[in-house]
Structure 1
């Protein structure tokens, strides 16, 4: 019998931790005689080793079979280059399925290229919505889900979003969260970053900050105002700020408060060690709110909406919006010891990759 070839697409840092459990589950099935095979396609959307290469090494992801080496560019330039190069790959050696994860440009671009060649698409993390069309990720999600064949979801909220858009129940597979598979599998391997002692960090006595969304970082006054509010509200405790290249460029040489400690983007094991031992995390990321929910770490999200509402309704996360004045009341609540405890959402149990591989084998 012919093998079944699945293209697994990875383009940017958030993708890598989501594909690792799927690759592992397929490899385990291969060892038991499964026909499933995979071709790991790295689009090269994130081309900085700190943003991607470290993740492959730390998470045990094999060297990609193909690197499209897309590199930098505008949204449209990256989309066009990914589509052109992935189309060429499919025409040279066609796969049976294109499996995409998350909501980055590579997710949408490879889905379009695959469907145009009548290759079916599976979307891992389908159905999540923020309702904010100003976010490129929201457009990527909506376009991808409009042309997806198999929807793998993280929550009942995502399931409901898909049903409202007309997706039938037999196409929706509620499997859980592969990013949590990766977190739980590596919890015992987390390690302090090189600067832990240099910054004299102590567990529960510092904050972690991440900022990269345009609403927070593209306007310098907004960015510096947010940093001032964070520094003041954290009562002089250290604030470890792994600075995204986009944020660093926009900040330039502007002065920042003394207790905000700028560091390079961190590899997976070091970053999650910081999160696990932090007093709280202040962020505008979506994925980090899932990890803080599972680790029971208080989280404050500097956005007006979230595509992961279960981290707010069930987890440790609170939406604060982009107004810096909202930070102090939230931080005062944290320091008073009255932050909510939170629960872990259903099926965020470390077995999502296995469920996906099982469904793929049964379906394909």
Structure 2
């Protein structure tokens, strides 16, 4: 089955030519020239492949200042920097197109391989196709973020890299996934987001904090508020063991937009096993989705009871 066609945001016309921020004069105290001037780029493109969430970002600078570098700061200092910059006027616009491969694969298997899907039902709350592919409630999305961006690389070194974002995000799509079934639904999502990925030769740290609302065009899908936390750490080299090393978690709670009562909980914890001499690791996340009967109504309703689904999510982390 072909993936439903994506809408494309028209990007404004601009030049991709690089400009240089004027460099300082020779340091009179040391007699040495300053480090090379920061390179300014009007547009940067970032591609992030993943089995569950693959995205391409187009980062457009609204000013002529380079992306600030915070690579030498601690994790707590990075959070403080992003939060302090969140109050500033947006200096960057980020266009993002994302696809969720495994969630869409679950839809494909249920629609085109019904025998395989039925045989995957091990118990009332465990279907291994759902367990592998559940999580994201849409096959793809288009997003626009207005906010601020920081770079985690260290000036003069290519070993530390990554980007952090803070700002306001608006996303749209026209399909919703429920129980591995595609439902036509023109949804809109507005959120405030703090997100980052910092990678060095010894570890990779990723995090995401989000609060927002999702409005559905389908009358039988409940409009929600949500709060989400995610943190993941991958250690390529370990001198000592710790519970926080090579582990991660994600928790999202959805609230009824009218009554603020919880209608959905999504929770996973993961463990990572680094591959020797490679900056990659095998990852296994275990968790659950607990959904109340109020989440859907009409023909989409699950009945009067809560719906519970186990999650088993293998992946490769880079």
Q: Pick the structure with greater CA Rg.
A: 2
Alignment TM-score, normalising by the size of structure 2: 0.25
Instruction: Tell me the TM-score normalized by structure 1.
Output: 0.23
- Structure showing greater relative contact order (alpha-carbon pairs closer than 8 Å, 6 or more residues apart): 1
More helix by share: 1
> Which structure shows the bigger proportion of residues in strand conformation?
2
